[in-house]
């Protein structure tokens, strides 16, 4: 079967199943199987595809047609400046989280400074890995309650050759971490109110780990749990960067204050929602 015919058939299947931009996703999944770039559709559109490759292509197309996220199918996602490994045990990193990385780096003018960074709920490790890559003399610790998530984080830190500058710990938030040692703490916690989980897209509810999404009755349970722990491991004037729900900034101002944090800024995401909080420990 010719490549052009496979593309047409794949696009038709994805379109029928209401997948956004079916042509682009078809091309990317085909390229994933063929281990080629998108130029193959311009230069070799009439090449014959082997039966084995055809079967593998349509296996992936059918998975996508059923709603499985593209990133889980190809087991990778682009985040900040690198490509990272992901699987069903970790959330797929969002563009909003890239903004968290960018905001942290804005507060560190001297990128060569030796800093100690803690990423609470490290997940896939993309926040910690991205920061350590930009801060070559810094050391990082990532914590997560999920051993499966830590395995993913370890793969990503290995790929960037920075495992000698980090440690991954299986614990709840920052429990058991030594006090008063960190200069920077980041966290993208579960912050979706339980009652809103049902409103998420099916591909999120069905495939992504709910443990990393459900934030309790009002979406604030995680913040109430980890903020005291985070403060205890931070030095005075250390930087705290959080990703938050669009309607949580006012309530979090109070939680930050009672846990000895001074609010520095609230940053909106590309959609205009308040998404990142920057604070310092006092």
CATH of the domain at 42: 1.10.8
200's torsion region: left (phi>0), alpha (psi -120 to 50) or beta?
A: beta
Within this chain, do residues 149 and 105 fall inside the same structural domain, yes or no?
yes
d(CA 164, CA 162): 5
How confident is the model over 67-82, as pLDDT tens digits? 999 999 999 999 999 9
The arithmetic mean of pLDDT across residues 265-280, rounded, is: 96
Q: What angle do CA 53, 151, 90 make, to 5 degrees?
A: 70
Within this chain, do residues 84 and 56 fall inside the same structural domain, yes or no?
no
Domain count, the chain: 2
Detail the DSSP E strand segments found in 145-257.
Answer: 166-170, 182-187, 234-243
Q: What angle do CA 250, 253, 255 make, to 5 degrees?
A: 115
- Enclosing domain of residue 48: 3-66
The pTM of the full predicted model, rounded to 2 decimals, is 0.94
How confident is the model over 210-249, as pLDDT tens digits? 999 999 999 999 999 999 999 999 999 999 999 999 999 9
Indicate the helix (H) or strand (E) that contains 274. strand 274-281
d(CA 243, CA 140): 19
């Amino acid at each position: 079967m010719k490549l052009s015919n496979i593309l047409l058939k794949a696009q038709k299947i994805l379109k029928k199943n209401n997948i956004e931009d079916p042509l682009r996703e078809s091309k990317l999944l085909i390229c994933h199987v063929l281990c080629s770039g998108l130029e193959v559709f311009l230069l070799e559109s009439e090449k014959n595809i082997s039966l084995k490759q055809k079967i593998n292509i349509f296996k992936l197309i059918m998975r996508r047609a059923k709603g499985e996220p593209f990133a889980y199918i190809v087991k990778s996602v682009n985040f900040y400046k690198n490509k990272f490994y992901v699987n069903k045990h970790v959330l797929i990193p969002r563009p909003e989280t890239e903004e968290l990385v960018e905001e942290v780096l804005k507060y560190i003018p001297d990128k060569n400074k030796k800093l100690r960074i803690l990423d609470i709920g490290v997940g896939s490790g993309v926040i910690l890995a991205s920061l350590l890559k930009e801060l070559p003399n810094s050391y990082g610790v990532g914590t997560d309650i999920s051993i499966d998530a830590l395995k993913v984080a370890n793969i990503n830190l290995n790929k960037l050759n920075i495992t000698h500058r980090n440690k991954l710990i299986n614990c709840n938030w920052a429990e058991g971490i030594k006090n008063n040692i960190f200069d920077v703490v980041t966290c993208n916690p579960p912050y979706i109110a339980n009652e809103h989980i049902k409103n998420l897209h099916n591909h999120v509810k069905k495939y992504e780990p709910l443990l990393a999404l459900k934030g309790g009755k009002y979406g604030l349970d995680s913040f109430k749990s980890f903020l005291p722990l985070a403060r205890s491991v931070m030095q005075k004037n250390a930087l705290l960067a959080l990703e938050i729900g669009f309607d949580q900034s006012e309530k979090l101002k109070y939680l930050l204050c009672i846990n000895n944090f001074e609010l520095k800024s609230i940053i909106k995401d590309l959609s205009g929602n308040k998404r990142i909080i920057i604070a310092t420990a006092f």
